[in-house]
Amino acid sequence: MPAPARGEIVRQIGQALRDKLEPLGKLVSLEMGKIKPEGIGEVQEYIDVCDFAVGLSRTIGGHVFPSERPGHALMEMYNPIGVVGVITAFNFPVAVYGWNSAVAMACGDTLLWKGAPTTPLVSVATTKIVASVLEKNGLPGAVSSLCCGGAEIGNAIAKSEKVPLVSFTGSTAVGRKVALTVQERFGRHLLELGGNNAILVDKSADIDMVVRAALFACVGTAGQRCTTTRRLIIHDDKAYTNFMSRVGDPLEEGILYGPMHSQQGVDGYLETLEQIRKEGGKLEYGGKVIDRDGFYVEPTIVTGLPHNSEVVHKETFAPIVYLLRCYSLEEAIEWNNEVKQGLSASLFTQDLGNVFKWLGPKGADTGIVNINIPTNGAEIGGAFGGEKHTGGGRESGSDAWKQYMRRSTCTINYTKDLPLAQGLKFE
C-alpha cells in the first residue's frame, strides 16, 4: 500500500478517535485515575499525532547525494521495518501507544501492543476503535493487534526475532532488562524510561509564572508523569521561603488532583517519606495518606536535604518535590545534570544571556529543554525522549519516524563502466 494511502487510514483513525473523544477520555480517568481534562487531553494527543502522521505519509523521504563516480547515483531509501512491539505504562494508556501506532502505520508497519495490565479496558477500547477503521477499509484488524497480560507477554515480545523493533515505556530498571534482551538478538529498542526533572528558578524569574507552572508540573497526574517536576532549584535571591487544591473524584468537574493509580504507588510514596526522614529532610507540606476511598495522598514539599542526597537522586513516581537553594545559574545547571536520568528540565528566567547558557553545550543535558514553561506537557511536533538512564529513545514528532523504518544506502550505475570508489584500481 502506498504511503499516502496508509496516511488516509491514519486520518480515518484520527476521526474515529474524535468521535469517541469524551467517552474514551472518561474511561482513561476511571481506570487510570487522572482527572477528566487530562484523560480527554491524552486522547486528543493521539488525534494530534494522527494529524502529524497523515502529513508524514506525504513527505517520507530519503536523500540524494552527489556520487564521486561518473554515471552513478547515490541515494538513501526508507522502507517499513515490519512488526513493531509496543509496551506501554499505566500512566499514559492511550497517548504513548498513539505516538507509536500512528507514525508506525504511516511508515507501513504493523503493531503488537501490550498495554499495562492495570488499564486493560482502555487498551481494548482503543484497539477496537483502530480495528474498526482498518476493517471498514478491507484491512485486517490485526494490523493493530493487542495482547493483554503481564510481564510474561512483554518478555515474549522482547525475545521474539519476529519483532524487529520494541518500543518500551516504563521504569529504568525494567527498561534495562528489555534493552539487554532485545540487543542480545540484535533487534532495535526504543526506550522511554524514568525522569528526575528539575525547574531552575533564576534570580530574574517571574515568580508568579513559576508558581503557576510548578503547580501543574509537580501535582499533575498526581506526580505520575515521567516528566513530573521532582526538584525545584531556586536561586537564593528569589524568596526561597515563598515556595512553601482541589482534591476529589477525577471524573468530577473542577477537580485538579485525583488519586494515585494503585496501592503500589502509595507504598512507594510512604517508603520515600521514610527515607526522607532518615536523611534529615523536613516536610514543609503534605506527607500523609488522605483519609477517603481511593489511593489519595497529599502532595508533599520537602526542604533541608542536600542536592546530592540519595533520596533526591531517586525517582519516586509520586507527588513529592524537593526544594533546593542554589547561588548561581552555573551551580543550578550542575545540580540539574548530576542525576542519572535525563528527560526534561526547565529554566525560568527573564535574562536573555541565561537562555543560551541553558540551551548550549554546557547547559541542560536532558532530551527536553524548556524556558519559562514547566517540565511536562510537551507538544507532539517535537521528538519526545531523553538521555542517560532515560534510555535515549525519541517518539512522536520531528524525525522520530526514522526509527520505524529500515534505511538503505543505494548506488545505481547507469553506465557500462565500473569505476571503484576512492579511485581504487583493480584491473
How confident is the model over 46-95, as pLDDT tens digits?
999 999 999 999 999 999 999 999 999 999 999 999 999 999 999 999 99
Give the whole-angstrom CA distance, residue 144 versus residue 84. 10
**C-alpha cell, 289:** 495518606
pLDDT at 244 (0 to 100): 43
pLDDT at 245 (0 to 100): 53
Which of these ranges, 365-374, 390-399, 417-426, has the smallest mean pLDDT? 417-426
Q: Which amino acid is at 334?
A: E
Kindly state the average pLDDT of the residues 292-320.
97
- Per-residue confidence at 236, pLDDT binned at 50, 70, 90? confident
Give the whole-angstrom CA distance, residue 73 versus residue 92. 45
Q: Which residue has the higher pLDDT, 242 or 408?
A: 408
With pLDDT > 90 as the criterion, what percentage of the chain qualifies?
Answer: 95
The residues that are catalytic are 192
Four-point Cα dihedral 168, 171, 175, 178, nearest 10 = -70
pLDDT at 246 (0 to 100): 74
Kindly state the average pLDDT of the residues 353-364.
96
Return the domain boundaries, the chain.
Answer: 3-193+391-411, 197-371
**C-alpha cell, 392:** 535515549
Give the whole-angstrom CA distance, residue 316 versus residue 310. 12
Give the whole-angstrom CA distance, residue 205 versus residue 332. 14
Give the whole-angstrom CA distance, residue 226 versus residue 388. 14
Give the whole-angstrom CA distance, residue 282 versus residue 303. 5
The pair phi, psi for residue 346, each rounded to 5°, is: -135, 145
pLDDT at 238 (0 to 100): 63
CATH of 197-371, one of 3.60.20.10, 1.10.40.50, 2.60.120.1270, 3.40.309.10: 3.40.309.10
What pTM value is reported for the model? 0.95
Average pLDDT of the chain to the nearest whole number: 96
Tens of pLDDT, residue by residue over 119-167, are 999 999 999 999 999 999 999 999 999 999 999 999 999 999 999 999 9
3-193+391-411: in CATH 3.60.150.10: no
pLDDT at 240 (0 to 100): 54
Tell me how crowded residue 357 is: count the other CB atoms within 10 A of its CB. 17
